[in-house]
Amino acid sequence: MDNCRILSFKDMSNKYGHLVPVEQENDVPFQIKRIYYIYGVDKETIRGKHAHRDLHQVLICLKGSVKIKIKTPNNEELYHLNDPTRGLYVGNLIWVEMFDFTKDTLLLVLVSDFYDETDYIRNYAVYLEELKRD
């Protein structure tokens, strides 16, 4: 899908363990203004269910696993994130749902802007309308 892809980060592993550096603009295609992380989510819970008008983000599953569905009117893709050396880049105007969290899932999200509720489209019908207007 345009505007969405898996990013691979450097894994600086040695006998002492793993280290994965992630730099803005070099490893993710934007300046990181915010991070947040999600954990302690029940298996039955579906999170997300929104699109962003302008925001870009990269989702990195640091621990456990989670499924991410990304959707546009013409396309739908499913990713199973379970590798801390990979991130799912999601551009703007893409509908995102996160589900099938394991008990130990720790999901880190790197974001291109500060939190702003007016950037969210939380209703799928409104999302479709806004795409038609673009």
Active site residues: 50
Task: Count residues binding ligand TYD (CB under 6 A).
Answer: 7
The closest of 114, 4, 100, 14 to 61, measured between CA atoms, is 100
The residue to which tokens 């893709």 are assigned: 77
Could you tell me if 88 and 59 are in contact, meaning their C-beta atoms sit under 8 angstroms apart?
A: yes
One-letter amino acid at 55 equals: L
Judged by CB under 6 A, the residue of 80, 115, 126, 129 near ligand TYD is 115
Q: If residue 59 lies in a helix (H) or strand (E), which one and from where to where? A: strand 57-63
Contacts of 30 (CB under 8 A, 6+ apart): 24, 56, 112
| Min separation Cβ 96 and ligand TYD, Å | 8
Q: Which of 3, 13, 36, 40 binds ligand TYD (CB under 6 A)?
A: 36
Stretch that binds ligand TYD, among 47-55, 61-69, 78-86, 126-134 (CB under 6 A): 47-55
Under rule CB under 6 A, residue 67 binds ligand TYD: no
Minimal distance in Å, beta carbon 16 to ligand TYD?
33
| Residue 127: both structure tokens together | 């999302």
Work out how close the CB of 49 gets to ligand TYD at its nearest, in angstroms, rounded to a whole number: 7
Q: Which residues bind ligand TYD (CB under 6 A)?
A: 34, 36, 38, 47-48, 50, 115
